[in-house]
Structure 1
Amino acid sequence: MNFKNLKSYLVIGISIISLTFFQSCSDDKNDSPSRVQLKLVDAPGDYEEVNVVITDIQYNTTDSEEGWQSFAPAEAYPIEVDLTELIAGNSLLLTDQLIPSGMMKQIRLVLGDGNTLKLEGDDTLIPLDTPSAMQSGLKLNLNTELEGGFTYTFILDWVVSESIVESGNTGKYNLKPVIKVNAEVNSGSISGTVVENIEDVETAMEGVTVEIYNTEAVKITDTMTDMNGNFLFQGLEAGTYTLKITREGYNEYSVETTVSVGEVTDAGTVVLTVVTP
């Protein structure tokens, strides 16, 4: 064998070894599980409390109704939460589990009995009637390919203002959940603080309505400030938005802002001024 042929054999051999190595690494990654986190946040309504009971959280990697699997064992449930507490950066980690990699098509939240509502200025707990369809599971489409060895965090934004429906003038209320879902890796956030000047001292304003509108003037979501005047929107798609802050008796504040993937846009401290007669 001459040197030229030996060199050719060596190149071929190294190529085969390299291909085998990379294929092995690829197979290892495909065989590895994916970590999935679900975070629940709230776009609130005008309620003192909205208490819901979650009895199971499931995922489906198939197109079949037989493909539903629970993220966690039965002893992890029920999960009871007051949705009105999930504002200004507060979130509830619903699940943090390793599951097989591959296509995740849907998730669903199974609701139990005992959901209640408390209106503003009233300490009475009002039962929230939950349709049987919701008790079998509220389905949310993901259609996301999960790669082994990676963590995927999804923001579930429960829009309370659209989720509670009064039944005529009966004093009864129905729970019809409206939840928006977005992958944290594909989204950004907006934060800020709302204050007013009282005797030249900036004082935090709690319960101020903060809204996000898209470029077509369609409201995307809303929230309220906490006791420190802070607000935070999570899971927003990248783009340009209008931020509106309103409170009865105060002048409306409006500003255009931009959201970038993986970043928190700081809207700063907004000082609301009293409407003058």
Structure 2
Amino acid sequence: MKNLKTLLILVMTLSVITFQSCQDNDDKTARIQLKLVDAPGDYLEVNVEIVDVQYNINEGEAGWQSFSMPEGGYPEQVDLTELISGTSLMLTDDIIPAGMLKQIRLVLGENNTVLIEGDENQEPELKHLDTPSALQSGLKLNLNEKLEPGFTYAFVLDWNVQESVVEAGSTGMYNLKPVIKATAEARSGSVQGNVAEVIDEVQTAMENVVVEIYSGEVMVAETLTDANGDFLIQGLEEGAYQLKINQEGYTDYMEEINVTVGEVTSLSETIILTLVP
């Protein structure tokens, strides 16, 4: 393993929208919040090492500056599979100079791992996630959005674990190729609900049920239910969708839903799944 830390730089193109005034009403600064969530995957754990979160308000490499460090400092080890059902990680909540925000980037270290479920009678196996050399220089995407002074800008960064972990052929090795969807919170809405089944006439919460959101034939978001059967899907554009659950051994479920910007659509009744006869 190289002595020098391998860095992976992810730069997300975001659409920015103002939705509330900063408390200090400073005429020279704006407030930025970045919330990290996860779309589910077929892994027990996906651990990534975050070593810095940066922004760029100028042209070129000289313009990069770091957001304030989290309370525990860097590096910060994060299990992405825990960021479901409304659980998120606040990457930053910082005040930065107002004006043109060129870019934002997430810097990862090399201590990234995936825990894979073993075959029958075998223990789960922890694998190192390699970073391909082609990505070591990072993905750089322009932001080029003007931050108005005295306002807050919040974004949801949805990390798709399933698409981000790639098996390297038959080598038994795994590569990390992050896939992240970034959405301005004030330009999107959310859907929340609860999933259960009836066992011996008792309504019982169902954990780890995959809940999918479709727009026509295209799946646009998904998540897992938690131990209480609850789920929350964030970062949806306004519009009509289909909520689908295709749980093995149970009858398929589908419900039409509408999402409104800035609101959480709460399903009025618990979704009850029934066993296939």
TM over 0.5: yes
TM category, shorter? 0.7 to 0.9
d(CA) in 2 for partners of 1:200 and 1:140? 54
Which residue does 1:270 correspond to in 2?
Answer: 271
Which residue does 2:11 correspond to in 1?
Answer: none
Aligned-partner SS, 1:47:
coil
Answering whether residue 102 of structure 2 is matched by residue 105 of structure 1, we say: yes
d(CA) in 1 for partners of 2:235 and 2:142? 15
Which residue does 1:188 correspond to in 2?
Answer: 189
Deviations 1:105-161 (A, max 9, x none): 321111101100011354321101122454544545544321111111110000111
1:243 maps to a residue whose letter is L
d(CA) in 2 for partners of 1:84 and 1:38? 18
d(CA) in 2 for partners of 1:111 and 1:167? 20
Preserved CA contact (<8 Å) 1:111 1:137 = no
Which residue does 2:82 correspond to in 1?
Answer: 85
Q: What's the Cα RMSD here?
A: 2.0
Greater CA drift, 217-226 or 125-134: 125-134
Preserved CA contact (<8 Å) 2:117 2:125 = no
In structure 2, do the counterparts of structure 1 residues 222 and 60 end up closer, same or farther at CA, with 3 Å as the change threshold? same
Greater CA drift, 245-254 or 55-64: 55-64
d(CA) in 1 for partners of 2:215 and 2:48? 30
RCO greater where, 1 or 2, for CA within 8 Å and sep 6 or more?
2
2:102 maps to a residue whose letter is K
Q: TM-score, normalised by structure 1?
A: 0.84
Greater CA drift, 138-147 or 246-255: 138-147
Which residue does 1:149 correspond to in 2?
Answer: 150
User: Out of 53, 57, 80, which is 1:61 matched to?
Assistant: 57
Which residue does 1:167 correspond to in 2?
Answer: 168
Q: TM-score, normalised by structure 2?
A: 0.84
Greater CA drift, 223-232 or 132-141: 132-141
1:119 maps to a residue whose letter is I
Deviations 1:14-66 (A, max 9, x none): xxxxxxxxxxxxxx978421010100000010110000001111111234233
Deviations 1:212-246 (A, max 9, x none): 1113x111121111111111111111111111112
User: Out of 92, 95, 112, which is 1:95 matched to?
Assistant: 92
- The structural deviation recorded for 1:76 is 2.9
d(CA) in 2 for partners of 1:168 and 1:113? 21
**Larger gyration radius, structure 1 or structure 2:** 1
Which residue does 2:208 correspond to in 1?
Answer: 207
In structure 2, do the counterparts of structure 1 residues 226 and 185 end up closer, same or farther at CA, with 3 Å as the change threshold? same
Unaligned runs of 5+ in 1: 1-27
Preserved CA contact (<8 Å) 1:111 1:136 = no
In structure 2, do the counterparts of structure 1 residues 54 and 140 end up closer, same or farther at CA, with 3 Å as the change threshold? farther
d(CA) in 2 for partners of 1:54 and 1:265? 32
- The structural deviation recorded for 1:176 is 0.2
Greater CA drift, 53-62 or 86-95: 53-62
Q: Taking every aligned residue pair, what percent have the same amino acid on both sides?
A: 62
Which residue does 1:261 correspond to in 2?
Answer: 261
d(CA) in 1 for partners of 2:254 and 2:75? 41
Which residue does 2:33 correspond to in 1?
Answer: 37
1:56 maps to a residue whose letter is D
Aligned-partner SS, 2:270:
strand
Preserved CA contact (<8 Å) 2:101 2:143 = yes
d(CA) in 2 for partners of 1:123 and 1:132? 28
d(CA) in 2 for partners of 1:249 and 1:72? 48
Aligned-partner SS, 1:162:
helix
In structure 2, do the counterparts of structure 1 residues 135 and 111 end up closer, same or farther at CA, with 3 Å as the change threshold? farther
Q: Which has the higher helix share?
A: 1
In structure 2, do the counterparts of structure 1 residues 142 and 270 end up closer, same or farther at CA, with 3 Å as the change threshold? farther
Aligned length: 248
Which residue does 1:19 correspond to in 2?
Answer: none
Aligned-partner SS, 1:76:
coil
